[in-house]
C-alpha cells in the first residue's frame, strides 16, 4: 500500500503527512511538484503549507504544477486524494472541489484544537468514522473562510457533499460552518483542519482522558487503507 | 514596454477583510468621507511588441482561467497599455 505525499515549494506539512501515513500502516512515497510521475501510488495526500508563497491566490499556482495534471486525471478516474489546508485550497483551485477559500473573517491567523462534526462517512478518507461523530484535530490557517455561490451551496447541501462542519465555534467565517468537502464519488476529500497533526498519543490535541492524547486524525489514513484493501 | 493590464477585484457581495481593515483605519484617521474600501489586484503582462488582438484574447483567457477565481473574484478590466 503506497500513499503519495506531494511537496510543492513552500509546502510545510509533508513530513507530518508522510509520518501519519506510516503510523496508519502504509508506505509514504514523496511526490515532487515538477514530476508528472505518480510512482504507482494507491492514494495521494496534498499537505498543508504555503505553496508558492500563497502568491496570486492560495493554491492557485500549485494547481497549475505538472504533478497536478496527473493527480487531476487520476482523481477523475477514482484515485483517493486528500487535501489538507493548503492542499484543500489546491483542490478548490484545481476544480476537483467547488467553491473558494478567502481570508478569515476576523483577519487573524488562527491556531487551535478544533471540534468537527463528521457529516459524511461515504468517502475514501472518512469511512472509519461514525456519521455525526465529533472529532478534534488542529486547525491553523489565515485563509480558511469557505465560500461558494448560493447555487453551489444548495448543491453541496442537497447532494450531501459536505464532509465536515465546524462544531461549537466557526473559526473563520466559513459559510454553513463548512470545514471540509467531498466530491460526488467520495474519492476526493478536502478540509482546512489538519488530521496529520493528531495521529500519535503525546503529540495530538488534549482529550478528556489525557493531555495531548487525541488521535482522531489517524482515522483519515486508516480509512483510505481499509478502502483500498477491501477494493 | 507594451503591456496588457488585468484588474481583478473581489466580488462585490464578498467580504473583503483587507479592504475593511483599511476602511476602518481611514475612519480612525478622520476620513469620514470615505464610506468603504475594496482592495483588488493589478496584474501587468509584458510583451516585446505591441499586443495583437490575439494576444488580448489570450490575455482575457489567462485572466479568467488563472489570474482570477470566478468563485470569489471578478476580472473588471483587461486593457492594452503601450
What is the helix, strand, coil percentage profile of chain A, to 5?
30, 25, 45
Q: What is the residue extent of each domain of chain B?
A: 3-81
In CATH, which of 3.40.50.2300, 3.40.50.880, 3.30.2350.10, 3.30.70.2860 is domain A2-230?
A: 3.40.50.880
Q: In the prediction, which pLDDT does A79 show?
A: 98
* Chain A hits for B67, Cβ within 8 Å: 56
- CA dist A33 and A19 (Å) reads 19
What pLDDT is recorded for position A50? 96
CB-nearest to A149 from B66, B71, B73 is B71
Task: Please tell me the predicted confidence (pLDDT) of residue A12.
Answer: 98
Q: Which residues of A43-58 are buried (b: 16+ CB within 10 A; e: fewer)?
A: bbbbbbbbbbebebbb
Give Dmax over CA atoms of chain A in angstroms: 45
- Nearest CA of chain A to the CA of B17: how many Å? 6
The CATH number of domain B3-81, selected from 3.30.1280.10, 3.40.50.300, 3.40.228.10, 3.40.50.2000: 3.30.1280.10
pLDDT of A61 reads 94
The confidence score (pLDDT) of residue B29 equals 87
Choice among A80-89, B17-26, B56-65, B70-79 with the minimum mean pLDDT:
B17-26
Q: Is B69 on the interface with A (CB under 8 A)?
A: yes
* Residue A68 pLDDT: 97
- How far does Cα A74 stand from its chain's mean position? 17
Tell me if chain A has a CB within 8 Å of the CB of B34. Answer: no
A147 touching chain B per CB within 8 A: yes
What the block records as the C-alpha cell of A25 is 500502516
The whole-number pLDDT of residue B67 equals 96
In the numeric block, the cell 494507491 is attached to A42
Spacing of C-alpha A199 from chain mean position: 14
Query: Does residue A93 sit at the B interface (CB-CB below 8 Å)?
Result: yes
Res B28: pLDDT: 86
Torsion of CA A163, A166, A171, A172, to 10 degrees: 30
pLDDT in tens, A174-195: 999 999 999 999 999 999 999 9
pLDDT tens-digit profile of B1-54? 999 999 999 998 777 878 888 898 899 889 999 999 999 999 999 999 999 999
Q: Which residues of B touch A93 (CB under 8 A)?
A: 69
Q: If you ran DSSP here, which 8-state letter would residue A85 be given?
A: T
Which residues of chain A are within 8 Å of residue B15 when distances are taken between CB atoms? 102, 105, 145, 173
Residue B17 has a pLDDT of 79
Nearest to B21 among A102, A107, A147 (CB): A107
pLDDT at A32: 97
Q: What is the pLDDT of residue B19?
A: 87
Tell whether the torsion through CA atoms of A178, A184, A185 and A190 is positive or negative. negative
The series of mean pLDDT values per 10 residues for chain A, 231 residues long, is 97 98 98 96 98 93 96 98 98 96 91 98 98 98 94 97 97 97 98 98 94 97 96 78
Residue in chain B closest to A64 (alpha carbons) equals B66
Dihedral of the alpha carbons of A124, B69, A142, A82, in degrees to the nearest 10: 10
Looking at beta carbons, which residues of chain A come within 8 Å of B21? 107
Say which of B10, B67, B71 has its CB closest to residue A99.
B71
Q: Do B10 and A64 touch (CB under 8 A)?
A: no
**H-run or E-run covering B24:** helix B17-28
The ranges assigned to domains in chain A are: 2-230
Active-site positions of A read: 85, 194, 196
Chosen from B16, B19, B72, B73 to mutate, greatest number of chain A CBs within 10 A:
B72
Closest-CA residue in chain A for B20? A107
Q: Hey, of B21, B37, B71, which one would you mutate to test binding to chain A, going by the most A CBs within 10 A of its CB?
A: B71
pLDDT, position A205: 97
Whether chain B has a CB inside 8 Å of the CB on A155: the answer is: no
The pLDDT of residue A97 is: 98
Which residue, B59, B78, B55, B82, is CA-closest to B7? B78
Q: Nearest-CA distance from A184 to chain B in Å?
A: 19
Strand-by-strand arrangement of the B41-46 sheet: B41-46, B3-10, B73-81
Instruction: Rounding to the nearest 10 degrees, give the CA dihedral for residues A30, A34, A35, A41.
Output: 40
The interface pTM score, or ipTM, of the predicted complex is 0.76
Amino acid at each position: 500500500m503506497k500513499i503519495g505525499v506531494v511537496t510543492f515549494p513552500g509546502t510545510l506539512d509533508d513530513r507530518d503527512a508522510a509520518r501519519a501515513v506510516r503510523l496508519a500502516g502504509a508506505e509514504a512515497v514523496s511526490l515532487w511538484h515538477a514530476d508528472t510521475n505518480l510512482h504507482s501510488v494507491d492514494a495521494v495526500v496534498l499537505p498543508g503549507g504555503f505553496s508558492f508563497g500563497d502568491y496570486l491566490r492560495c493554491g492557485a499556482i500549485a494547481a497549475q504544477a505538472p504533478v497536478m495534471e496527473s493527480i487531476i486525471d487520476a482523481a477523475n478516474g477514482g484515485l483517493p486524494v486528500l487535501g489538507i489546508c493548503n492542499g484543500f485550497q489546491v483542490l478548490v483551485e484545481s476544480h476537483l472541489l467547488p467553491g473558494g477559500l478567502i481570508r478569515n473573517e476576523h483577519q487573524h491567523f488562527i491556531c487551535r484544537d478544533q471540534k468537527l462534526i463528521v457529516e459524511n462517512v461515504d468517502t475514501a478518507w472518512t469511512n472509519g468514522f461514525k456519521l455525526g461523530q465529533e472529532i478534534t484535530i488542529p486547525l491553523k490557517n489565515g485563509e480558511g473562510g469557505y465560500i461558494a455561490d448560493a447555487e453551489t451551496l444548495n448543491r453541496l447541501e442537497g447532494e450531501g457533499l459536505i464532509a465536515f462542519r465546524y462544531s461549537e465555534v466557526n473559526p473563520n467565517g466559513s459559510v454553513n460552518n463548512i470545514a471540509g468537502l467531498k466530491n460526488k464519488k467520495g474519492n476526493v476529500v478536502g478540509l482546512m483542519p489538519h488530521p496529520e497533526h493528531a495521529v500519535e498519543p503525546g503529540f495530538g490535541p488534549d482529550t478528556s482522558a489525557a493531555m495531548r492524547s487525541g488521535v482522531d486524525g489517524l482515522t483519515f489514513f486508516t480509512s483510505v487503507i481499509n478502502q483500498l484493501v477491501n477494493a | 514596454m507594451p503591456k496588457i493590464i488585468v484588474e481583478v477585484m473581489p466580488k462585490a457581495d464578498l467580504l473583503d477583510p483587507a479592504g475593511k481593515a483599511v476602511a476602518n483605519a481611514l475612519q480612525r484617521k478622520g476620513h469620514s468621507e470615505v464610506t468603504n474600501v475594496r482592495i483588488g489586484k493589478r496584474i501587468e503582462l509584458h510583451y516585446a511588441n505591441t499586443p495583437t488582438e490575439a494576444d488580448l484574447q489570450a490575455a482575457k483567457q489567462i485572466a479568467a482561467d488563472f489570474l482570477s477565481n470566478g468563485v470569489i473574484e471578478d476580472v473588471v478590466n483587461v486593457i492594452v497599455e503601450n
